Amino acid sequence: MVAGYPRTVIRMRYYYTAQQIRDAEAPLLAALPPGGLMRRAAFGLATAIARELGTVSGKTVCAVVGSGDNGGDALWAATFLRRRGAGAAAVLLNPERTHRAALAAFRKAGGRIVESVPAATDLAIDGVVGISGSGPLRPAAAEVFDAVEQAGIPVVAVDLPSGVDVATGAADGAHVKPALTVTFGGLKPVHALGHCGRVELVDIGLDLPPSDIRGFDAADVAARWPLPGRSDDKYTQGVTGVMAGSSTYPGAAILCTGAAVAAHSGMVRYAGTAAAEVVSHWPEVIATPGYATAGRVQAWVVGPGLGTDETGAAALCFALETDLPVLVDADGLTILAAHPDLVAGRSAPTVLTPHAGEFARLAGGPPGDDRIAATRGLADRLGVTVLLKGNVTVVAEPDGPVYLNVAGGSWAATAGSGDVLSGVIGALLASGLPPGEAAAAAAFVHARAAELAALDPGPAPAPTSSSHILAHLRTALGSIL
């Protein structure tokens, strides 16, 4: 373990279920005057919209209002903006069930009730359904937002985009496509999982404990990343063993070992048939033709480009029979899908890093819309840490927390990118980082490196490659550390 680790106070994003938010709101609803909490949230929403508009006076907003509190939030926000000089209109999708107090305040401030969003509107507010809603937009709401989209009017969603599931981020039909989503009190899974645009969190005074769905920020990664202390040497910083690549796929070995080197493993040992190619790229790597002569390591990375023949299976069995942390990827996952007993009862940290297809082979079916529940289910069933790849990476520990990592784009969706990620996770496992945190931190840095690679030479992003992502790992780490 690296001297002095961890070095700073840990902080991270937490995601809450709709019920957790409602439970946290209950004491405030009891303590505040009627409507007080709604006006508090709406004021924060109006403030966020004002920033989005730039200048409030002379601009026009239109709230699309459903029944219940979400519509009330939208009406109150439009009311506050009207009082600051904006033109304000509202489309009432269900007039009989519109929030009465909010509607009265809106009308008193000079807000207009309209049948459709005026073409000259500068910004529309989605106040159709809140965190209790489910399913796609109903036809009337879908028609309104189709017209908004065709007119090019930007949308700010209240709490979440209507038509998008709060727990899974799934949008099975018509849904709002906001530029910005403003949510209150605490983030919900949907804010990581998709369709929200940018997300802004407004503090309304909820007392929320840490949740078991979480996500790292740069500060969290920096606090955990192993850096050499004054008394460290190459062994105490972690020795990463890599069994990857083959005569058919030597590139996987080069990418995986190079990533372990770049992530600052104290030493990287490579064992496999691509030894000559690996050393030609990374002369600091200690390479041998097989695991029997690899020497002492503190974690194994097994699978990328390894092949699924008897040689590959023997390598995987060797690693899993040790008491060392093991990361299994690619061909190793294919072997494991046929022989899940290989990880049964394993007490040492084990990390699996499947993409959707590999996940389906391991789990017996695709992850589906609820990627959090699916990843948790596989982690619990196998007793291992599972990292499900995607634009939102989901990391689940058995009977433990889930980490969500949101990539800025899909720049890492390129051949060999997973080999790079495996090498980074392996280096963190060798340093002694717990498996869930190692996977989450590596996913964060990997996504940052992919983004930097896409911007090089810039300024506009362009398609990149895994070699380019690997070349930007150190830059990504430097920007974080």
pLDDT digits (tens, 9 = 90+) for 151-203: 999 999 999 999 999 999 999 899 999 999 999 999 999 999 989 999 999 99
Residues 306 and 243 in one domain: yes
Residue 426 annotated as binding site: no
- pLDDT of residue 143 exceeding 60, the answer is yes
Tell me: is residue 480 an annotated ligand-binding position.
Answer: no
Q: What pLDDT digit, counting tens, does each position of 70-116 carry?
A: 999 999 999 999 999 999 999 999 999 999 999 999 999 999 999 99
More confident residue, 231 or 214: 214
Element containing residue 242 per DSSP (H, E)? strand 239-243
- Residue 8 confidence (pLDDT): 36
Q: Are strands 402-406 and 213-215 parallel, antiparallel or unpaired?
A: parallel
Predicted confidence at residue 252, as pLDDT, reads: 97
Regarding pTM above 0.85, the answer is: yes
Q: Does residue 224 lie in a domain region?
A: yes
Measured CA to CA, the distance from residue 331 to residue 323 in angstroms comes to 21
3-state secondary structure of 328: strand
Is 400 part of any known ligand binding site? no
Same domain, 447 and 413: yes
Please check whether residue 119 lies inside any domain of the structure.
yes
pLDDT in tens, 432-476: 999 999 999 999 999 999 999 998 887 778 788 999 999 999 999
Task: Tell me the pLDDT tens digit for each residue of 277-288.
Answer: 999 999 999 999
Is 323 annotated as belonging to a binding site? Answer: no
Is 196 within the bounds of a domain? yes
152 and 260 in a single domain? The answer is no
- The response to whether 247 counts as a known ligand-binding position is no
Per the domain annotation, does 130 fall within a domain?
yes
**Could you tell me if 309 and 194 lie in one domain?**
no
Question: Is 252 annotated among the ligand-binding residues?
Answer: yes
Q: Is 232 annotated as a binding residue?
A: no
- Residue 285 sits in the same domain as residue 182: no
> Is 465 inside a domain boundary?
yes
Measured distance CA(275)–CA(307) in Å, rounded: 16
Is there a single domain that holds both residue 195 and residue 224? Answer: no
What integer is the mean pLDDT of 249-278?
96
What are the phi and psi torsion angles at 136 (to 5°)? -70, 170
Is 390 annotated to bind a ligand? Reply is yes
Question: Does residue 10 lie within any of the structural domains?
Answer: no
The answer to whether 162 touches 133, Cβ cutoff 8 Å, is yes
Structure token digits, residue 367 = 């992850």
| Per-residue confidence (pLDDT) for residue 133, from 0 to 100 | 87
Distance CA(102)–CA(94), nearest Å, equals 14
Q: Is 355 annotated as a binding residue?
A: yes
Mean pLDDT of 373-392: 97
Asked whether residue 1 is assigned to any structural domain, the reply reads no
| Rounded mean pLDDT, 387-405 | 96
* 234 is known to lie in a ligand binding site: no
Same domain, 387 and 424: yes
pLDDT digits 0-9 by tens, 303-346: 999 999 999 999 999 999 999 999 999 999 999 999 999 999 99
CA 81 vs. chain centroid, Å, equals 33
Tell me if 368 is assigned to a ligand binding site: no
Same domain for 184 and 230? no
Question: With 60 as the cut, is the pLDDT of residue 1 above it?
Answer: no
Count of structural domains within the chain: 2
**Is residue 162 a known part of a binding site?**
yes
Q: Are residues 331 and 263 in the same domain?
A: yes
Query: Which of 210, 231, 260 is where one domain is finished?
Result: 210
Q: Is the pLDDT of residue 9 over 50?
A: no
158 is in which domain, residue-wise?
A: 17-210
Helix (H, G, I), strand (E, B) or coil at 298: coil
Check whether residue 177 and residue 245 sit in a common domain. Answer: no
Give the residue from 261, 243, 396 showing the smallest Cα distance to 326.
Answer: 243
| Residue that is written with structure tokens 């979480």 in the block | 214
Domain boundary among 170, 191, 210: 210
Given 156, 190, 210, which residue is the final one in a domain? Answer: 210
Taking Cα atoms as reference points, which of 253, 245, 354, 252 lies closest to residue 307?
245
What are the pLDDT digits (tens) for 29-58? 999 999 999 999 999 999 999 999 999 999
- Asked if 222 and 104 sit in the same domain, the reply is no
Q: What is the mean pLDDT of the chain?
A: 94
Helix axes 356-363 and 331-338, enclosed angle (nearest 10): 20
| 6 part of a folded domain | no
The tokens describing 361, both together, are 């082979």
What are the tokens at 228? 């050499």
Write down the pLDDT at residue 11. Answer: 62
Closest CA to 439 of 286, 284, 263, 288: 263
Same domain as 438, residue 320: yes
Q: Is the pLDDT of residue 229 over 50?
A: yes
Q: What is the CATH number of the domain that holds 36?
A: 3.40.50.10260
Known binding residue 405? Answer is no
How far apart (Å, rounded) are the C-alpha atoms in residues 34 and 16?
25
Average pLDDT over residues 230-237: 87
Is 126 annotated in a binding site? The answer is yes
Distance CA 307, CA 35 (A): 63
The pLDDT of residue 6 is 35
Question: What CATH number is given to the structural domain containing 309?
Answer: 3.40.1190.20
